[in-house]
Amino acid sequence: MTDRRQFAPATERNRGPILSILKDHLPDTGTVLEIASGSGEHAVFFAPALRPLNWQPSNYDPEQLDSVEDWLVHQPSDNLLPAISLDVTKSVWPVETSDYGGGPITAIFNANMIHISPWQACEGLMAGAQRVLPVGGQLFLYGPFKENGQHTAPSNEKFETWLKSLDPDFAVRDIEVVCDEARKNGLEHMADHSMPANNYIHIFKKT
């Protein structure tokens, strides 16, 4: 049978440090919704370490959903739910419908999406987090960010040049602008942590 797994080498480098932050901050119960699961390598690494929480992978890209599905076959975990098709820019996410069977979403994790998609993806992420999270629920947002409009490292500046060659609407986002968007949607910035390779994890809480 064809193996549809994709491999994103950066996940092997960042998954340990991300997991340690998640373990420190995630709630004890419910389901973590992962937005833009990519290859699925984060999902299969995080889920077994986070029991009894459930992990819900998702993506809008059918080929990446196939990759997640095959990663789940290779590295199953009883708390890993089948990946769902979810486009953050939609006004209703499948986890909001009555036929969603994955249990209450108590946290959201999203890595490396808002810079490699139009700004509408960040708007959709924040709006969806407000709709889906309970009061006190947290959104974990991982990736590179600017601070006060400035890059935090030359490598991120170079990275942004490459992003813009793909699409002029892609950009390393300014964390202050991301926080403004979060605030508009009832999400307060609670904490941030430096991660390897000039990335950060920002934690927002629904008020």
Ligand X SMILES: C[S@@+](CC[C@H](N)C(=O)[O-])C[C@H]1O[C@@H](n2cnc3c(N)ncnc32)[C@H](O)[C@@H]1O
Q: Which is nearer to ligand X, 39 or 54 (CB)?
A: 39
User: Residue 193 CB: number of other CB atoms within 10 A?
Assistant: 17
* Least distance CB 124 / ligand X (angstroms): 6
3-state secondary structure of 24: helix
Q: Residue 22 or residue 111: which is nearer to ligand X going by CB?
A: 111
Give 24: exposed, middle or buried? Use CB within 10 Å, 0-12, 13-18, 19+: exposed
The least CB distance from residue 29 to ligand X, in Å, is 24
Taking the complex as a whole, the smallest distance from the CB of residue 113 to ligand X amounts, in Å, to: 4
Distance CA 59, CA 172 (A): 21
Quick one: 37 or 156, whose CB is closer to ligand X?
37
Binding site for ligand X (CB under 6 A): 8, 11, 36-38, 42, 59-61, 64, 87-89, 111-113, 116-117, 121
**Which one, 74 or 136, has the nearer CB to ligand X?**
74
For residue 124, the tally of other CB atoms under 10 A from its CB is 20
